[in-house]
A and B are shown apart, each in its own frame.
Chain A
Amino acid sequence: MIEINNISKAFNGKAVLKEISAQFQKGETNLIIGGSGTGKSVLLKCMIGLVKPDQGNVLYNGRDFYNCDKETQQSIRREMGVLFQGGALFDSKTVEENVRFPLDMLTSQSTEEKQERVAFCLQRVGLEQAAKRMPSEISGGMKKRVGIARAIVMNPAYLFCDEPNSGLDPLTSVKIDELIKEITDEYQITTIIITHDMNSVMEIGQNIMFLYQGDKLWEGVNSEITKTTVPELKEFLFSNKLLREMQG
């Protein structure tokens, strides 16, 4: 379980996050939604240690990420898998090398063990045929899947996905969502997804948090979200003409 308490962050005096608190349960896909510039990515970066919050704390199964010794922080980091928005694959390495990279750097496994694990992860995301290809030779959807394979190669307890559907066609988006959901269920990972894709919200959003101008305005499950009375959330949800017409 991940718990965030009173997370606040400001850049150049402008508050981006205002005392955000939430709990993200194990084995659930937790979605953080909101429009562009509402602080979703900053919140994610605060959670994974790329941006230090001005106040508040982030607890990983009770371990305070920002108030613990370096060894504990390092062990928490090793339990994290992160899928970045663009995949963040290393350009100079093949797909296979990208996935193997955390094993090479952080473990003392034998070459055979690493090969086996990499093959399993690539097979899990359906990319065993692309192992020898370079990131520049694969599509955006494949890059995301390689990113997922790299994120799960270390058997993470926490999976963070920053806009996994951005730049993808609707069909590929659904496939990526399904893959993340399957992996979350299969390995009982605490998954946190930053998105503004309404399809993801309705399909895989077990626990949803809505951010608006740095404030948490709503939290709940996907079956309740369309019944919301929060005007900002309603505006966000029904910004699409088709959805407005369906809402009647």
Chain B
Amino acid sequence: MSVIGKYFIFLGTLFGKGEKLSVYWRRLMEECVGIGVSSIFIVAIVSTFIGAVSCIQTAYNLVSPIIPISTVALIVRDMEILELAPTITCIVLAGKVGSNIASELGTMRITEQIDALEVMGINSSSYLVLPKVVAAMLTFPMLVIFSAFLGILGGYLAGTLTGVITERDYLYGIRDSFVPYNIFFMCVKPFVFGFLIASISSFKGFFTSGGALEVGKASTQAVTNSCISILVADYLLAQLLL
């Protein structure tokens, strides 16, 4: 409980005395590149293959003659939009971005770089962490939209190239019974998950003490705690918004 309390106090310090807006803007752009742009490759690889595998496995399970084959594409689309793109992508990002944030801040802590900021009178948590949190909340939804697109594209490529489904059936299936609200739901999830990943990982890294071993531990805890929080938040969001 005390750790949760400390986490909320830490979140409060992010909005304490701040620096010049131009400083935050520059930091935000740096973090958007560091968190968002540098994650495009891994997101693209993971999403395309997950989409491809989803298509083939769904087709393998749908053997009933009364279910039209275009249903495979419909299932791939809804799985991608509702769960795979937002949740799996964010779990992958928790590993990549979360560990990066925790180890960066942990190293800054043990090498006294954070102390140097505090001695200068700079709100170190606000300067270092707030841009990371905002950047994650801005770039994660974009990455998830990209992921959903590539996942559906991956399903199309795997399905049509292996002959599991025709191009016509796939295109019909992904447009069939489409619910636009699901897109909104897909974008809300990474917005929340981005906040959780960036803030939890920053919290773990920011309060690291000791040496290289502790930085490694903080990084591992950041990923573990971020993944757990994503799963809990995923369930809560599904209950609240669907």
B99–chain A nearest beta-carbon distance, Å:
17
The answer for the CA separation of A169 and B121 in the assembled complex, in Å, is: 33
A88 to B119, CA, bound (A): 12
Interface residues on A, range: 20 to 34
Return the contact of A105 from the options B107, B113, B115, B120 (Cβ within 8 A). Answer: B120
* Contacts between chains A and B (CB distance < 8 A), count: 44
Interface string of B14-44 (1 = CB under 8 A from A): 0001011001000000000000000000000
Q: How far is the CB of B132 from chain A (nearest CB, A)?
A: 13
Q: CA separation between A106 and B23, bound complex, in Å?
A: 11
- Cβ proximity bits B116-138 to A, threshold 8 Å, 1 near / 0 not: 10111110000000000000000
Docked CA distance A86–B115 (Å): 12
Between B17, B108, B112, B120, the greatest number of chain A beta carbons within 10 A of the residue's beta carbon is seen for: B120
Q: Out of A70, A78, A88, A90, name the residue touching B115 (CB < 8 Å).
A: A88
Which residues of B have CB within 8 Å of A90?
A: 113, 116
B119 touches A49 (CB 8 A): yes
Q: How far apart are A107's CB and chain B's nearest CB, in angstroms?
A: 10
Query: Please, which residues of chain A bring their CB within 8 A of the CB of B115?
Result: 50, 84, 88
Q: Are B120 and A102 in contact (CB under 8 A)?
A: yes
Interface size class of B (residues with CB under 8 A): 10 to 19
B57 interface residue per 8 A CB criterion: no
Within 8 A of B (CB), among A63-111: 70, 73-74, 77-78, 80, 82, 84-86, 88-91, 102, 104-106
**B116, A88: Cβ atoms under 8 Å?**
yes
Which of B17, B111, B119 is close to A82, meaning CB atoms less than 8 Å apart? B119
Return the CB mask of A126-145 against B: 1 if under 8 Å, else 0: 00000000000000000000
Does A221 sit within 8 A of B, measured CB to CB?
no
Known contacts A105-B19, A105-B23; A88 and B112 CB within 8 A of each other:
yes
| Inter-chain contact A85/B112, CB cutoff 8 Å | yes
The winner among A73, A74, A88 for most chain B CB atoms within 10 A is: A88
Least distance between B9 CB and chain A CB atoms (Å): 16
Contact: A86 with B119, CB < 8 Å?
no
The answer for the CA separation of A84 and B17 in the assembled complex, in Å, is 24
Whether A104 and B121, one on each chain, are in contact in the complex, defined by CB atoms closer than 8 angstroms, is no
Q: Cβ of A104 and Cβ of B23 under 8 Å apart?
A: yes
Cβ of A59 < 8 Å from any Cβ of B?
no
Is there an interface contact between A88 and B121, defined as CB atoms closer than 8 Å? Answer: no
Q: List 11 A-B pairs, Cβ < 8 Å.
A: A49-B118, A50-B115, A50-B118, A70-B17, A86-B112, A88-B112, A88-B113, A91-B113, A102-B120, A106-B120, A106-B122
Q: Which 4 A-B pairs have the closest CB atoms?
A: A77-B121, A88-B112, A88-B116, A84-B112
